[in-house]
Amino acid sequence: MSSTSAREKINTVLTNAKETIFGQDNLLDAIMAALVCEGHLLIEGMPGLGKTLSVSTISKLCDLSFKRIQFTPDLLPSDLIGTMIYSQKEEAFNTKFGPIFTQLLLADEINRAPAKVQAALLEAMAEKQVTIGDDSHRLSSPFVVLATQNPIEQEGTYQLPEAQLDRFMMKVNVDYPSFKAEKNILELKRTSSPKISSVLSTDDLFEAQEFVDAIYVDEKIKDLIVKIVQATRPGSDYFKKDYQGIITAGASPRAVIWLFRISKFMAFMDGKDFVSPDHILKIVPSVLGHRLILSYEAAIDNFRSTDVALKIAKSMV
């Protein structure tokens, strides 16, 4: 398969998905980026905006195994990763695998689960394996977690610590659909839901990953990526005095890795064989936004971390 046909297949997946889910183009693009770059995605948005439908539709179009788990305050780590069950018949312990053993896992309302469950999920995200009893089990490849959180309900929620937020490749904010998109939803409900057949196989995804890896990144672009991330850190040589008192803590080296990887994916989808500053600027808000910790004063003055990150990036170009 050539890079052109790989790109066409990914675009076909996105086109088919956009015929079912209206007004969530940014979310669908981000899910595809997560699959090709094998990163995890945090999705924040109000209920009923098609977050679950978007994930399940993409999993069908890409022929990936998909599981969804609703996070609740009484959830246990074993409900997620699995446990050992004693069989009287065999007089031995058997492993019961949890829903984490899938290629695409939708962790619905991740901030509703207590810290132990969040830690179990985040360990699996980082290590690509889980331990049940005395045995370690590898997770399937690709293994991508798409976690959702509700921005309005804070009662009975356990906010993700900043260090754990850093494990997510990107954070996408899902907005309400436009007037036209919402009207299209009405038309869709009249007919039965269309049958979705797979367009892309797992092998196609791995081939697309190879094409993305082959995208050229100039030394100046690498310097730019590192400068942007360092400019978010108070005390760094690139940190500007304008942001003194606004940013408490900047982005970690993980941000450098993801800016590098996702900008290559953006260039690939653009039909280019090299990364340009525009490819980086497009992804800065979603890659850096959730990694910046703003001061209490900045929050009162309605500063948004995504806007601050983009402003810093533009000043570095």
Residue 281 lies in a domain: yes
State whether 232 and 304 are in the same domain: yes
Q: For residue 82, what is the domain's CATH number?
A: 3.40.50.300
State whether 23 and 152 are in the same domain: yes
State whether 171 and 287 are in the same domain: no
Please tell me the pTM assigned to this model: 0.87
For 95-118, the pLDDT digits (tens) are: 788 888 989 999 888 888 888 888
State whether 140 and 30 are in the same domain: yes
Residue 186 lies in a domain: yes
pLDDT at residue 133 greater than cutoff 80: no
pLDDT at residue 264 greater than cutoff 90: yes
Q: Which residues form the domain of 303?
A: 215-316
Domain boundary among 203, 236, 260: 203
For 271-285, the pLDDT digits (tens) are: 988 999 999 999 999
**Of 221 and 196, which is predicted with more confidence?**
221
Q: What is the pLDDT of residue 125?
A: 86
Residue 245 lies in a domain: yes
State whether 8 and 154 are in the same domain: yes
State whether 46 and 159 are in the same domain: yes
Cα distance between residue 173 and residue 234, in whole Å: 26
State whether 167 and 51 are in the same domain: yes
Q: Which of 263, 246, 220 is nearest to 309 (CA)?
A: 246
The mean pLDDT value of the chain amounts to 86
Q: For residue 251, what is the domain's CATH number?
A: 1.10.8.80
Residue 219 lies in a domain: yes
Cα distance between residue 130 and residue 82, in whole Å: 9
pLDDT level of residue 139 (50, 70, 90 thresholds): confident
Residue 208 lies in a domain: no
Q: What share of the chain in percent tops pLDDT 70?
A: 95
For 164-209, the pLDDT digits (tens) are: 788 899 999 888 888 888 887 777 655 555 567 788 888 888 999 9
Our measurement of the distance from residue 317's CA atom to the centroid of its chain's CA atoms, rounded to an integer in Å, reads 26
Domain boundary among 203, 227, 255: 203
Residue 226 lies in a domain: yes
Domain boundary among 145, 179, 203: 203
State whether 80 and 222 are in the same domain: no
**Of 216 and 94, which is predicted with more confidence?**
216
State whether 14 and 133 are in the same domain: yes
DSSP designation for 128 = S
Cα distance between residue 14 and residue 17, in whole Å: 5
For 45-89, the pLDDT digits (tens) are: 887 788 888 888 888 888 888 899 988 888 888 888 888 787 777
Pairing of strands 92-97, 82-87: antiparallel
Residue 209 lies in a domain: no
In the numeric block, the tokens 């005095």 are attached to: 241
Number of domain units in the chain: 2
State whether 192 and 219 are in the same domain: no
State whether 186 and 235 are in the same domain: no
State whether 195 and 222 are in the same domain: no
Cα distance between residue 290 and residue 166, in whole Å: 7
